[in-house]
Amino acid sequence: MLDLQTPVQFVKGIGPRRAQELALKNILTVEDLLYHLPYRYEDRTNFCNVIDLQPGEKTSILVEVMTTGLNITARNRLRIFELAGRDETAVIRCKWFHSEYLAQRKIFRKGQIVIFHGKFEVDRYGSGTLQVINPEFEILDQKINPSDSLEMGRIVPVYEAIKSCSSRVLRRAIYRCLLDLQQLPEILPAEVLIRHNLTNRKLALNESHFPSETTSLGDLAKKETPALQRLIFEELFLLEVGVRWKRQQHRTVPGIPFAIGLNIRETIKKILPFHPTNSQKKAFGELVSDMRQNIPMNRLLQGDVGCGKTIVAMEAIAIAVENGFQVGLMAPTEILAEQHFFYAKQLYTKLDYQIDLLKSGLRKKERAYLLEQLRKGNSQILIGTHALLQSDVEFKNLGLVIIDEQHRFGVLQRFNLMRKGTYPDTLVMTATPIPRTLSMTLYGDLDVSVIDEMPPNRTPIETRLLEEKERIFAYRLIEEQVQKGHQVYFLCPLIEESEKLDLKAATKTFEHLNNEIFPMFKVELLHGRLKSHEKDAIMCRFSSGATNILVSTTVVEVGVDVANATVMFIEHAERFGLAQLHQLRGRVGRGQNKSYCFLMQGSKTVTPEAHQRLSCLESTTNGFEIAEKDLEIRGPGEFFGTRQAGLPTLRVSNLLRDQKLLLKARKEAIYFVDNSSNRSNLRNMVQSLNNKWKKRYGLIGVG
């Protein structure tokens, strides 16, 4: 007998070898197999007469086998298995390439009744009649009604094949599981099922895999059948239960109630280099309110590039240090970490804080001394990259953790840095605006502050989408800007995820600009293979104005704040995501001078979708509008381009398509977790969900 936790190898038709293949997709148990849902459905309820077939039509036919044979072409020795079949109206030919096993195993015999499904096309190299290449088929006993078949005569589920586990193999294995399962316990609370009129779990899985004849193929494609809607709700509910549980757990541990009196407020006023915007004041007020409480702060600070998030974070750092605690600030790149380090040194000059930078390239003695000072508590602010997570980095009394560009880190990395203190406050920052739908799921355990106001006197950036023939126009404007004393970023894309190719392309661009286009200017090249001190020197020269044009790869994010830079030229802009392009654009326009962003399209690699994305960037500078459009075009699975962001691998739901269900599921999950009468039962349930679902949802999953 099967149950949900039966290893999948014991399902008939799977076995040990196929079980190993399924494990590559995290399908280990019967339950995992049942949640491997079809990616599409085909209506095979009606068989077409052979005489009525049309070129390009994908349909099913029911024929009697006439002849079979293995033919070898004289030209290239290609082996083709051919079959001729007929119904009451006409004859049709079926062909399979490289399928000698059909002949060797004598799969087909004269007189058999067979159902074929595929796309029928004209044989341009033969008689000019219709044929079907590599069709799906099922051989029937003449006494069996075709409508009883799993493959034909019905709406048939089509699955993503996993190595030797073809769609047909999976279809039959799943059917046996549903047939043999003695029990399929309900996973949703009874009151939730009633409130939302959701079908039970058993029926939902049955109908999702093997829809009844009355089911609309259109509703299946749009995931709008009652069965699929129930599974979508279930998936989102369980996900939101996990997020809510984590949020509650964070708020049950003792935090640090920071004192924020008049003296600290006066200290903060001393470091402010400018009058903050109303949006900055509001965000800082929310941080202050959190830091005063005796539970840990867990807050996300969102805002466009250049909106002033960093100064708000620096104010929070001052509160922690003035209270006698240490601060750890983690950035995704060394350049960004160095930018924070130099900015902090400049900002806290009057306060004489001990600020250190942990980066690669430190001598052994330097590193050892820095870590010793950290353990003793003498180092008050430590800034660095992933290096902060290393086991030998030990704080004496870590009180505040700040993570810049959170989406570039894994969720567990955030927690690992927090564990270096005793429930420190945590501030997560991102300049990638996150649509509300994704934010609720990605950062549901965090409170959210948004800075949606740019500092005054900022001149809007003019963005222009260019074709190759307009390159000369951009070069002329770049020349004019440099002659006026301004500077230019020239970005080259990552090509095929290859640093070697990336470097080669950037080097070629650098040589072309330096030797042929702008020999009169100082042009430098920045890339990921440079040593740390070399990168420092290049960035220092660019910041000081000694370098006119900086050519950079995307291996190293350009994170320097140079108010004098007025042009961002992005080569092959279609290869970037919208959010990344928006961030790159934000590197200019930081002063009062008019700034430009040129998006150069490649001549051969621009798809209609890519052009749509770039046009969106050309028409607006609002980061949240851009993020919503990016999510709409690319879908949630590709929004960040990496699972490091913690985005769950959802099997049936879609955070964009299913927003209404997400809101309902979230509301129910919040009520379920917050109002559970038996906390120990709730804990056990969440732990059980964690064990079953963690591999499915990745880092952000339940638990």
Mean pLDDT in residue range 602-622? 76
DSSP secondary structure string for all residues of 19-69: HHHHHTTT--BHHHHHTS--SEEEE-SSBPPGGG--TTEEEEEEEEEEEEE
What does the alpha-carbon distance between residue 703 and residue 701 come to, in Å, rounded to a whole number?
Answer: 6
pLDDT score for 472:
93
CA dist., res. 592 & res. 282, Å (int): 25
Report whether pLDDT(354) > 90.
yes
Residue 237: which H helix or E strand, with range? helix 226-250
Q: Is the pLDDT of residue 699 over 50?
A: no
- The tokens describing 136, both together, are 């799906």
Which pLDDT belongs to residue 187?
A: 86
Cβ atoms 130, 94 nearer than 8 A: no
Provide the pLDDT confidence category of residue 442 given band limits of 50, 70 and 90: low
- Report pLDDT for 501: 47
The mean pLDDT value for 272-289 works out to: 90
Asked if residues 702 and 239 have their Cβ atoms less than 8 Å apart, the reply is yes
Tell me the C-alpha distance between 158 and 274, whole Å: 61
pLDDT at 643 over 70: no
The 8-class DSSP code of residue 530 comes to: S
Q: Is 628 left (phi over 0), alpha (psi -120 to 50) or beta?
A: alpha
Alpha-carbon gap, residue 275 to 22, rounded angstroms: 59
In sequence order, the 6+-apart residues with CB closer than 8 A to the CB of 420 are 328, 388, 393, 394, 395, 398, 401
Q: Of the segments 194-203, 302-311, 661-670, which one has the largest average pLDDT value?
A: 194-203
For residue 242, pLDDT beyond 60: yes
Partnered with residue 398 across adjacent β-strands are: 326
Does the pLDDT of residue 438 top 90, yes or no? no
pLDDT in tens, 12-56: 999 999 999 999 888 999 988 999 999 889 887 778 899 999 999
DSSP E strands, 379-436: 381-384, 398-404, 425-430
pLDDT for position 515: 93
pLDDT at 320: 95
User: Residue 174's pLDDT is what?
Assistant: 95
pLDDT band at residue 603 using 50, 70 and 90 as cut-offs: low
140 vs 692: which has the higher pLDDT: 140
Residues in CB range of 449: below 8 A, 6 or more apart: 282, 283, 286, 287, 299, 300, 301, 302
What is residue 642's predicted lDDT score, i.e. its pLDDT? 38
Q: Closest Cα to residue 543, out of 504, 489, 501?
A: 489
Q: Which residue has the higher pLDDT, 441 or 154?
A: 154
Distance CA 599, CA 474 (A): 10
Q: What is the mean pLDDT of the chain?
A: 83
* Rounded-to-integer distance, Cα 408 and Cα 331, Å: 9
Pick from 383, 371, 380: nearest CA to 335: 383
Find tokens 């880190």 and name the residue: 409
- Where residue 326 falls among pLDDT bands split at 50, 70, 90? very high
Does position 458 have pLDDT exceeding 50, yes or no?
yes
What is the pLDDT averaged over residues 384-395? 90
The model's confidence at residue 499, banded by pLDDT at 50, 70 and 90, is very low
On whether the pTM is more than 0.75, the answer is: no
Percentage of the chain modeled with pLDDT above 90:
39
Q: Is the pLDDT of residue 648 over 60?
A: no
CB 408 within 8 A of CB 332: yes
| Residue pair 652/220 in contact by the 8 Å Cβ criterion | no
Task: Look up residue 465 and give its two tokens.
Answer: 């989408």
Give the confidence band of 411 by pLDDT, cuts at 50, 70, 90: low
Cα–Cα distances (Å) from 444 to 441, 646, 653, in that order, read 5, 11, 17
Query: Can you give the length of the chain in residues?
Result: 703
- For the residues 441-450, what does the mean pLDDT come to? 77
How much of the chain exceeds pLDDT 70, in percent? 85
Helix (H) or strand (E) holding 505: helix 499-512
Residue 471 DSSP SS3: helix
Report the pLDDT averaged over residues 553-559: 56
CA–CA separation, 257 vs 291, rounded Å? 6
